[in-house]
Amino acid sequence: MLNVSEMKKSLLVSIWFMFLTFPIMVIRVNPIEKIVEWRWGNMFLVGIGSFILSFIWRYFIRQKESGLKKVEMGEKIIPFFEKLRSGDSIYLRSLCMTLSCAAAVFPFVFSTYQTTIMTTVLMYVVLGLGLNIVVGLAGLLDLGYVAFYAVGAYSYALLNYHFGLGFWTVLPLGAVLGAFFGILLGFPVLRLRGDYLAIVTLGFGEIIRLVLENWNEFSFGPSGIANIPRPSFLGIQFSLQQATVYQYFLTIGLALCTIFVVNRLQDSRIGRAWIALREDETACQAMGVDKVRTKLRAFALGATWAGMVGVMFAAKTTFINPASFTFIESALILSIVVLGGMGSVPGVVIGACILILLPEYLRAFTEFRMLLFGAILVLMMVFRPQGIISNVRRTYELKGVPGRTLRD
C-alpha cells in the first residue's frame, strides 16, 4: 500500500491543497500595523494533513469498490439498518421502547435549553418528512419549501394579531393554508421537470419571502411580529419552563402523527402513483395515472406539514420575521432528506438529528459550520448516494398464503 505511486498521488494532493489554501491559511494582512504576516507553519500543517487524509480517502474508495464487486459477484451485503429491520423484530421493538422512554423523560432530565434544541430537531423531522413526499416520493425537486413554513408561521402571527385566534384554532388553518399554497405553486409548475422545476420553486420561495419583507402594511416587514402567544392548554398559561416542556411534547405528537400518515400514504394507491411518477412520468401517465392530480396532491400534502410546523415555530419563538425563511432553510431541509435517504422515513429522522444537532453541539467550530456541512454532503454523495437509510420497497402478503410475504 505504501508504494511509490501512492506516495506520489498523495504528494500531489498535498501540494495542490497547500496551493489552494495559501491565500487564507498563510497570508494574513494586519491593517492596523500595516504589515503582512506569513504563517508558513499553517502551510506545513495543511500539507501534512491533506497528505494523510488522501491516503484515508483512497482507502475508503477502494473499500467501496470492493464492496460493489462483491455485490456484483452475487454476495449479499446486508447493511446494519436492514439487519435491524428484517431480522428479529425484538431488536426493533426494544429500540423503539428505549427511544420512547428516552423521549418521555428527556425534558425532565435535561435543561430547558436542551429541550428547546430537541423541539427544533423534531420540527425539522416533520419538515423533512413533508418535503420527503414531494422530493423523495414524487421526485419533484422543490427548492422553495420554506415558503410553506413561512405561510404557516405568518398565518398564526397575523391571525392572532388581528383576530386574536389561538394556537389550536390556527394549527389546522395553517395546515389548510399550507396545502392551498402548495396547490398554488403546483399549478404553474405542472409541466416542468428537473432543473426547471428547481429554479421556479426556488423563485417561489424567494417571492414569498420578499413579499413578507416589503409589504409592510401586511406583514410588518423586516421588523417582524412579536409577542405571539405560546400554545395554551385548556386556557392554562404556563411558565416559560413549563411551556417549553409542553411544546416539546406537542412537537413529539406532531412528529408521530406525521410519521404515521406519511407511512400510510407511502403504502397506498396514491403513494405508488407518486413513486411511479418519479420513476417515469410518461410511462406513468400512459398506464392510467392522472399526472396533474398526482402532482398537486404531492405538493399539497407536502406543504400541509410545513404549514403546521410554521404555526408551531411561531408559537415557540413568539417572534417571527422574514429572516427565518431564507433559501438556506430550504437547502437545510432538502439536505436532511437527501442525507437521510430519499423516500425513507427513518432516514429523514436520522438526517434531521444529524444536521440539526451537529451544528448545535459543534458551536465551538461555528466558523467551520458551513464547511463541515458541505464536507458531509460531498462525502455522502461519494460513499452513499442513496442516503443513510435507503428506501426499501415493501413486500405484500398474498391471500391464500397467509403469513408468507413474497420476498424470498
Partner 1 sequence: MRTILEINKLSMDFGGLRALDNFDLKMNEGEIVALIGPNGAGKTTLFNCATGIYAPSGGDIFLSPEPDRKIRINSLKPNIITGKGMIRTFQNIRLFPNMTVLENVMIGRHCRTSSGILGAILRNDSTRKEESGIVDHSYKILEKIGLNHFVSELARNLPYGAQKKLEIARALATEPFLLLLDEPAAGLNARETKELDTLIAQIRDEEKISILLIEHDMKLVMSISDRIVVMDYGRKIAEGPPDEIRINPVVIKAYLGEEFVA
Query: What residues make contact with partner 1 under the rule CB under 8 A?
Result: 261, 264-265, 268-273, 275-276, 279-280, 282-291, 297, 301, 393, 395-399, 405-408
Shortest Å, Cβ 267 to partner 1: 8
In sequence order, what DSSP letters do the residues of 125-173 get, joined into one string? HHHHHHHIIIIIIS----S-THHHHHHHHHHHHHHHHHH---HHHHHHH
Rounded CA separation 103/131 (Å) = 24
Shortest Å, Cβ 380 to partner 1: 19
Closest CA to 336 of 196, 146, 102, 106: 146
| Main-chain dihedrals φ then ψ at residue 405, nearest 5 degrees | -85, 170
Shortest Å, Cβ 272 to partner 1: 6
Rounded CA separation 117/107 (Å) = 11
Looking at the Cβ atoms of 153 and 255, the one nearer to partner 1 is 255
Shortest Å, Cβ 67 to partner 1: 18
Looking at the Cβ atoms of 88 and 280, the one nearer to partner 1 is 280
Looking at the Cβ atoms of 140 and 158, the one nearer to partner 1 is 140
Shortest Å, Cβ 325 to partner 1: 27
**Which residue carries 431541509 as its cell?**
333
Q: Are 351 and 148 in contact (CB under 8 A)?
A: no
C-alpha pair distances (Å), 265 with each of 61, 184, 214, 346, 376: 37, 22, 38, 15, 30
Looking at the Cβ atoms of 58 and 272, the one nearer to partner 1 is 272
The x, y and z cell numbers of residue 212, run together, are: 413578507
Rounded CA separation 248/173 (Å) = 21
Shortest Å, Cβ 97 to partner 1: 25
